[in-house]
Structures are given as structure tokens and as C-alpha cells.
Structure 1
Amino acid sequence: MIGTLFEILGSLGMFLFGMKVMSEALQKLSGEKLRAIMRTMTGNRFAGVGSGFLVTCLVQSSSASTVMMVSFVNAGLLTVVEAIGMIMGANLGTTTTFWIVSFLGFKFSLSSIALPIIGVAMPLIFSRKSTLRDTGEFLIGFGILFLGLMFLKDAVPDIRNNPDQVAFIQNFTGRGLLSVLFFFAFGTVLTIVVQSSSAAGAITITAAANGWIDFPTAAAIILGENVGTTITANLAAMGANTNAKRAAFAHFIFNIVGVIWAIIFFVPLTRLTDYLVPGDALNPTAIPFHMAAFHSGFNILNTALLIGFVPLLGKIVTRVIKDRKATSDHVKYENTFLPQTGELNLAEAEEDVQKMNKLTHDLVSGFVELYQSPTEKMGDRVKALKQLEKDSDRMAIETTDYLLRCSAGSVSDASRAKISSMLRVIAELEDMCDRGYRLVLLAERRYRKKRELPAETMNQVRQFGEIVLRFVDFTSTCLKRGVQAADMETAYQLENFIDQFRKNLRKESIARMRTSGDLVKAEMLYIDILNNMEAIGNHSLNILQALRHHD
């Protein structure tokens, strides 16, 4: 008995490892495309369902896709309502795993499928071309997954000819609603324990095919697995912002509402499945297809029934999970124990990079405001701008740490190059924010020390600030859409114009110092301002060069 248990655990471990390798390879092959899908295919709830379905089919992991959706909400790239539609689609997408396991796992000889696939994949993983290597990894993961399923089938005893061995299970069957609730709870706990609805489904299909459970029992367990899989998204949202928590909670509500009506109509639903699916559910080769059809049918019906209530569901989760006063506006990176989806979650870091660039804009514009319009409350304004500089430092540290963790995982060569580029961009942005805050301190010192300058310098500083802000805004645009060749020409023109502007103003300042020794300290402060503003332009150019090199 103990030996059989370890065989089952080992087989399950191989299945999960194959699923992990396959999912990560798929993410590397299509990560950028999946991120684009999630950004563009959420215009309405129906498009959201379609994109959620497509992403989950490609990734073959509802846990990975729902965690990714929660992270996109956390980063502000998706609204709660958009995420709800995508989560509905993810529930549909995860049913494809049941069909793959049922069709390939119980229709063909697994060894005749798995070993040739691994054999074909081996030469590919040694290729210099990243696409071929990733394809090889996907095929190897696919092969290992089915080897694990084969071992799982062999490890679970076929007891159709020895029904006495399942007498303890029969004690919980045949009791109507109580039996359904018991096995529903079992499926929920099983999915929470293995942290994979695909693995839980494979265990359920194997147990049913070997006679341990009948179709109605398996159907009740499947309903429990649909609820258990929501735990992953809710764990992902624990350290995230309010909207991410709402999206994860909406996932739970959607599935639990579906389970409630499915349990109420459990007998008609299972009978309808029996009627529509060919073959006898008592046949070990037919029951996996009955289970896959039940899983798909439940999720299709649940989506069809509730898709019209997506806005209402959004209002409910908003009312239940109240807004909290945010300590900062940046993305929180938590939950390193959750499914690794760094290939897809780079969008979180991209969002913080854009926010850091906005901080630079706010600091420079705040400096210009202080320089030209000093007030009695300058101390409060300086304090607020200092907080922006602290935010940039914290965001730089946390985003850098997050990107390093992503790069340490399984990511494509293209994403690894992108991470390297983003790390350089973050360093440049942090320096830009530091320069912006230095300008704020220089403006404060000018009034505190009463450094008087000619009136024309006020207009010059304003003009210089507008030019620098134009470059910062241009950098922000390029961060969002990428850098083209024409953008670099514009960037060099802006940087040269800033350099020349600073040289001209510096010459004028030196000339004034020669004619009036009383202005030396004020002019030195003025030159310091010019140097810091030019440095921000240099950092902006460095950012665009880093982005262009990556592209």
C-alpha cells in the first residue's frame, strides 16, 4: 500500500514537472504575443472571454493565466470588469487539458506517444536558435507529462474486478445530495493541495478510468476542482492592491455561483452529459470523455448564464472589498511561492518603469514652479517632492529585484534581453529623479539664501524646463510604444538642442560674473541648475538608446 502511494506521488510529480516545463516553454514561445493579447483584446466582456480562453489554451495552466490576470490588474493594465471577462475565458480554456488527457491519454498508447516526442525534441534543445530550443523544451515537457500520466495509470490499481477494495468509497456514494457535497469538498481540497487543477483533473480521470469512482462522483469532484483552482488567484492577490483582490474574489464568486446551480441541477446535468457523449460512462475508455464533456459543459453554461452580469459582479466585489488608502502608487511584487509566470508578468515592471518616468516629469515641473512662484508654503511643497524622490528609490529597488527574479527563472532570450534593457532604464530613471530633486533643493536654496539673478534668467529657466520636460514626455511615449529609427533622430536633436542651450546660458552667466563679482554665488547656483537639467536630457537619451538596442 505504501509502495503504491509513493508510485502515485512520483507519477504525479512527473506529470506536474512535465506540465511546468511545457507551460514555461509555451510562455517563452508566445510571451510577448500573449501580453499583446491581454492588452488589446479586452474592449468588451466577450473579447475578454475570448482572450482569456486563448491565453489559457496556449499556456495550458489556468493557475498561470489567472495569476497573470490578477497581476495585470495589480499593475493597472486591466480593470476589474475586464479581468472578470478574461477569468471566465480562462475557466473555459482550462477544460482543454481534460480533452487532451482524455483523448491522448486514454485513446492511444502513452509510451508510443511520449517517447517519440522526447526523441524528436532532444536535438532541438541543443539548437542555437532560441525558438527551436523553446520548441524542444515544449515537446519534452509534453512527453514527460504523458509519461507521468502513463505511470499514474499503472500505479493506480484497476479494481473493476475487485470491487471489495473500494468498499470505503461506496460508503460515501448513493446518498444523493450528501454524496455530491462530500466529493465536491474532496475535489476542492485536492486542488488546493496539489495547487493545479490540471493535476487534480488527471488524478480524477485516472481514478475513474480504473474503477475507483463512477461518473457522478467524478463530476462532483470536478465541480470542487473548479472552486479549488480559485485559491491560487486569491493567494496571488494577497500582497497586491485593492483592484487585484477584487479580481481574484470575482473569480471565486463566479465559480462558486456556478457550482451552486450545478449542484442543484446535478442529476439532470450528468444525465444530459451521458445522453450527448457517445459510449457508456461505465466503460473505462469512455468515462474520461464524459468527464471532459461535463467539465466543458459546466463552464460554457456558467459563462453563458453569468456573462450578462459582469458589471454587477464588478459592483459587488467593489462593495465587498473597500478601497484602502494607498501608501504608494507603484506595483507591489509579492508571492514568490506562486506559479512562476515571469515571462508574462513583465508588464508589471513595465508599468512601474513608466511611473518612474512620470515622477521625473513631476519633479522637473515642480522645480520650475518653485523657481518662478515661491510661496510661504515652499517647505510643504519641497517635502511633497522629496516623497516623490523616495518613491522612485523604492520603486527602483523593488522593480530591479523583481526583474532579477524573473531573469533567474525560465524566460526566452528575447525577454532576457528585454529585462537587461529595463534594468538599465531603471538605473537611468533613478538618476533622473535624483537630478530632479536636486533641482528642487537648488530652487529652495536660491530663495533661502536670497540669491538674486537678472530677471531674464527666470524666463530662461522656464524655457529650459519646457525643453527638458518635452524630452521626458517623449521618452515616456517611447517607453509605451517602443523606439523606432525616426525616434532616435528626434532624440539626438533634442539632446543636442539641450546641450547647446545650456552652453549658451552658461556663457551668459560667466560673462555676468566677470562684470559683477557680487553675483558669483548666485550665478554658480544658476550654472548648477543648468548642469542638472542637461544631465536629465542625457539620461533620457541613454534610456532611448537602451530601448533601441533591445528592439
Structure 2
Amino acid sequence: MTIFKQIGILLFTLIFGSSVVYASGANETISWAKLIISLLGGLTLFLFGMEMMSDGMKKTAGNKMRTILAALTRNRVIALMCGAFVTMVIQSSSATTVMLVSFVQAGLMSFTQSLGVILGADIGTTITAQMIAFKLTDYALLMVASGFLIRMFGKDQNVKNIGDAILGFGILFFGMKLMSDAMKPLRTHAEFISMLKGLENPILGILLAAAFTALIQSSSAFTGIIIVLAQQNLITLEAGIPMVLGANVGTCVTAGLASIGTTREAKRVALAHVTFKLMGVLLFIFWIPTFAGLIRNLAVQFDSGTARQIANAHTIFNVGLGLFFLPFTGLFARLILKILPEKEAVSDLKPVTWHLDDAVLTTPAMALDLARTEVARMAKLLRRMLRAVIVPFFTNEPQEDEYFPPLSLVDGINMREDKLDFLEEKISQYLIKISQENPTSNQAKEIFAMMSIVSDIENIGDLISRNLLPLIIKKKSLEMDFSEEGHEEIMIYHQKACKQLSRLEESFAERDLELANRIMLKERKYLNLEQQYKARHLERLFAEKSNTIETHEIHMELMDIMKQIIVYSCNIANTFHDLSKTDTSQ
């Protein structure tokens, strides 16, 4: 539980408890200290249980849900349904959002497709409120005991994770019971009831709920508190609906603030989420009495109390939002892309991580996905370094960096080498953190394999910066250029090395075993080609061609370094190929 959640819980309880004391006047029949302590303890258990349940579900089904999302989001309606289903299973809309960002970054999903999943995730997260509305508090300790026994005696890690989810579910309901029991005396307090009646003012209710949801960072938790109040008949449906709307705004504003300083894709997803919610609330705010009437009419059919009606309002609001905005996802995507265009800022010169997120460390399958995407970024940086470094060997004209024109070509190479060093350190640290979250045996293998891959990529970067860059200076000091044949051989072999790195980048991004296999198959062919080119070069040397004699040392070093890069690429592909044959969800 983060420090912000802890502060939010404390502030909410103190303010809520203080308002209770103030509203009650000098009534002596209630122990206010006991009431506040019970509320604080109950709310803490409620949030802890929700977090534990969500972590258990993510560890059990997170990777399988990732596969579903990646495969079934081509159609916007199916994307909506997938988003709802995945979030319902893993009980975390933020986890679904993190998966979306990684897919968009890796090119597995377009930004437009992700919008349908976002709308579906908002529907899926309302299932928590529906479960809370069932009065299962009498069975809370039974669930706690069952979950603990499953966790204690389960032999398989997935079984233990299911035990965690059940244990968390039980703790959640036990926390609800503590809060519910603490609030019982308030049912007879006219002053307190009158104060809560004031929350029927839509603006006040929305602002209050948005603020407290942002503090405790969970719309499901705050909606649960609203339902507890309703179960004690302390708030009406008209007061509950604005608070539900505010909770929806609060959770996406928190996500929006969290996206500051992250990748462009994460910012777009967060902005889309905030836009959907704010527009939805603006549409509903003027129709709250009508909406409340609709909910009551449905309640008559199913004999539902106020708590269930509030849970239904939460679900219907998000379902309505999804159905209303789904046809316009393409329009929204174009709008968001205009606000946050593809071009990255010049600040990208600084070494930063784009994909690593500590928030998903408790779900190793998802955290490994993010690490893999960051490794693909390392491969892209490496490919750009190698593609650029060959140019100065064939021209003495000053060259600019292709992607950052203010930089010279050599400065651009050095900048990317600094980024590789930085990413090697950060990814390794991130992988160590994942290893401390009880990963499965296959996930542990992936962690060690990825550390090896990251180290090899950084070693290739060192070859380019420490070995090839000094050769450029050496080449410029010569009076002659490479022979025509030597020039052609170097260019062809350089293209082969670049192609291997390009295949590596793509295989990481798409987890493509075929590409990894092709890299390994091509190695022998390229090593044989290097031997052929070396033999031809020696023939020219023995023929005493002046260009060949003058450039012999540089020619041989250049070809040898590119051969080493090809060998490194094959080693990385071999590690990745062996790794991908294991199912890291197990």
C-alpha cells in the first residue's frame, strides 16, 4: 500500500470522524474514539484486502489475460468486451491500462484499438462494487480461513495465488463489516443524517468523492465506502450517484497525474481516460434525478435496496459511457494524437526508461513484458548506432545525427551509448526487483536470461563506441580511401550486421521465435561471407594494390568488429529463442 493511500485513508477517516463528532453535538451515547478507530481499521483492512485480492488474481491470470487482449482487440466491440472481461478477472483497471500501454509501444495494438479496451476496463472494474453490494460480511472470516489454508498448503504457485485472492476477498469483507458495525449508531443521529443529505448537491458530492478517490487511489474502494453507508441507510440514492460519478473522475485524474514524465503512449492513454470520464460526468450531471428514477424502477423489478441501487448506478454509468463513446473512438484517437503528436521532444536526448513501471512488480508476468519492451528499445538504439557509424568511413564531410539534427553524427552515437549504459543498469535493477516478487521457476529463468541479453546488447554498444569510433579518426588520417571492391564488401557486410540487429529488435517487440531462429540460421552464412571477403582482400593485398595496402589495418579491424556484432546477435537470439519456448505464465 503506497504512502499516498495511507495518507488518504488517514485523512478520510479523520475528516469523516470529525464531521460525525461535530454533527452529533454533545451526545454521550456514542464512543467517538472507538467509532473512528473502527472506521480507520475497517477501511485499512478493506483496502489491504482489495489490493491482496487484485494481486492474487493478477498473478493467477495476468499473463493469460494479456494473451487475450493482444489477440482479440481488432474489432472495437470485441475490444470493449475484452477490456471488461480482463479487468473483471484481474480486478485492476490500472493493470489493464499498463498492458495496453506496453502493447501500443510494442506495435501489437494501435492507439485507436486501445480506446475500446479502456472503455471496457471501466465496465469491468464495476464488478467489485457489485460483489460488495452482496451482504457477504457474515462469511468474511470463513473466506479468510479458506484462503489462508489454500495459501498455506497449496503446492502449486498458481494455487497459492488463488488462496491469496480468496484471503484478500475475505479481508475486504471483514473490513466492510467493521466499518458497517461502526456506523450503526449513526443511523439515529438527525444532525449527521442532515449533513449527509447535503451531499445530494451534485457539485459537492462529485468534488468530495473525486478528492477522496484521488487520495486513496481506488474508485472501487471509495464506491465500497458509499455502499457501506447505503447499507446503514445513511445516504440516499440521490446522494450516492454524484459520489459515484466523482469516484469515476477521481480515479482517472490520479492516473493522469501518474502519467506525467512517462512515455507518449502512456500519456495518450491517460488523457483519453480522463476525457472519457469528464465528458461522461458532464453528460450525466444534469440528469441525476432522471437517472435515479431509472435505477429505482429497475430496483422494483429485482427488489433491490439502496446499496444495490448505487452499485447498479456505477455499472450502468460505465456501460452507458462505453456504448456512447465506442462508435467515436476513431475520432477521439485523432483528437488525442493532435494534442500529443508522434514526434518526441528534444528532451529525449536524456537517458530515461520509457516502459518500466514499479506499479506492476507484484505481477511478474506483466513486469517482464515491460522489461522485454525496454530491451527492444535497447536493440533499436543499437541498430541506429551501427547504421550511423559506417558513414564517416566513406566521407570527410560533417554529418548530422539523423534523428536529432542539432547533434553531430558522432555525438549522436555517443548519446545512444550513454543511453545503453543507463538502460542496462536500470533494466538489470528492475529485473532484480521482479526476482524478489516470488516469480515462478520459468519466470526466474526469463529474468536471468534477460539480464544476459541486456549485458550482451550493452557489450555491442561498447564495441561500436570504443572500437569503431577510434577507427574513424584513424581512417581520416589516411591519404587514401578503401579500394572500390573493399568499399563494396564493407558496405554489404555492414548491411548484414544491421539486418541482424533489426531482426533482434523485431523479435523482442513481437516475441517472434521465427525471427530469432532466422538470426541463428544466418550466422553461419554471414561468417562464411566474412571469410570470403577476407580472402579477396588478401588477394588484393598480395597484388600490391595501393589503396588496399594503405587501408589494410582499418579494413581488417572494421570487418572483425562487424563479425563480432553478428556473433553477439546470434548469442542473444539463441538465449531469446530458448527462453521463449518456456511458458512464463506458469
Both structures adopt the same fold (TM-score exceeding 0.5): yes
1:232 aligns with 2:260: no
Letter in 2 for 1:16: L
Q: Which moved more, 1:96-105 or 1:141-150?
A: 141-150
1:123 pairs, out of 130, 138, 153, with 153
- Structure 1 CA distance, aligned partners of 2:329 and 2:176? 37
Percent of aligned pairs sharing the same letter: 24
1:450 aligns with 2:479: yes
- Structure 1 CA distance, aligned partners of 2:181 and 2:216? 20
Aligned CA distance change for structure 1 residues 393 and 522 (closer, same or farther; 3 Å): same
Report the equivalent of 2:424: 396
Aligned CA distance change for structure 1 residues 435 and 513 (closer, same or farther; 3 Å): same
Q: Which moved more, 1:512-521 or 1:27-36?
A: 512-521
Q: Report deviation, 1:3.
A: 2.6
Report the equivalent of 1:308: 327
1:218 pairs, out of 240, 253, 257, with 240
Aligned CA distance change for structure 1 residues 500 and 309 (closer, same or farther; 3 Å): closer
1:478 pairs, out of 500, 503, 507, with 507
Report the equivalent of 1:374: 395
Q: Residues 66-145 of structure 1 correspond to what in structure 2 (within 5 A)?
A: 66-70=97-101, 73=104, 78-103=109-134, 105=136, 109-124=139-154, 127=155, 129-145=156-172
1:146 aligns with 2:139: no
Aligned-partner SS, 2:443: helix
Tell whether the 8 Å contact from 1:491 to 1:541 is kept in structure 2 after alignment: yes
Q: Report deviation, 1:170.
A: 1.0
Tell whether the 8 Å contact from 2:56 to 2:161 is kept in structure 1 after alignment: yes
Letter in 2 for 1:456: E
Report the equivalent of 1:290: 309
Report the equivalent of 1:63: 94
1:16 aligns with 2:35: no
Q: Report deviation, 1:78.
A: 4.8
Q: Report deviation, 1:94.
A: 0.9
Aligned-partner SS, 1:332: coil
Q: Deviations over 1:221-280 (max 9, x none)?
A: 111111111123112211113443232122122112222222211111111111112489
Letter in 2 for 1:146: F
Report the equivalent of 1:420: 448
Tell whether the 8 Å contact from 1:357 to 1:476 is kept in structure 2 after alignment: yes
Q: Report deviation, 1:92.
A: 0.4
Tell whether the 8 Å contact from 1:11 to 1:148 is kept in structure 2 after alignment: yes
Aligned CA distance change for structure 1 residues 324 and 525 (closer, same or farther; 3 Å): closer
Q: Residues 149-160 of structure 1 correspond to what in structure 2 (within 5 A)?
A: 149-160=176-187
Tell whether the 8 Å contact from 2:59 to 2:364 is kept in structure 1 after alignment: no
Letter in 1 for 2:398: K
2:230 pairs, out of 178, 185, 208, with 208
Letter in 1 for 2:165: F
Q: Deviations over 1:43-84 (max 9, x none)?
A: 243233222212211221223333544565566655443333
Tell whether the 8 Å contact from 1:352 to 1:399 is kept in structure 2 after alignment: yes
1:439 pairs, out of 449, 452, 468, with 468
Report the TM-score when normalising by structure 1.
0.86
- Structure 2 CA distance, aligned partners of 1:410 and 1:267? 50
Q: Deviations over 1:289-348 (max 9, x none)?
A: 212111111111122222223233334444555766243387525775799666425433
Aligned-partner SS, 1:327: helix
Aligned CA distance change for structure 1 residues 326 and 241 (closer, same or farther; 3 Å): farther
- Structure 2 CA distance, aligned partners of 1:115 and 1:311? 49
Tell whether the 8 Å contact from 1:44 to 1:82 is kept in structure 2 after alignment: yes
**What are structure 1's unaligned runs of at least 5 residues?**
none
Report the TM-score when normalising by structure 2.
0.81
Aligned CA distance change for structure 1 residues 2 and 334 (closer, same or farther; 3 Å): farther
Letter in 2 for 1:385: I
Q: Which moved more, 1:322-331 or 1:298-307?
A: 322-331
- Structure 1 CA distance, aligned partners of 2:205 and 2:330? 32
Letter in 2 for 1:171: M
Aligned-partner SS, 1:99: helix
Structure showing greater relative contact order (alpha-carbon pairs closer than 8 Å, 6 or more residues apart): 1
Letter in 1 for 2:345: K
Tell whether the 8 Å contact from 2:147 to 2:163 is kept in structure 1 after alignment: no
**What are structure 2's unaligned runs of at least 5 residues?**
1-31, 401-407, 581-586
Tell whether the 8 Å contact from 1:186 to 1:221 is kept in structure 2 after alignment: yes
Letter in 2 for 1:292: A
Letter in 1 for 2:68: I
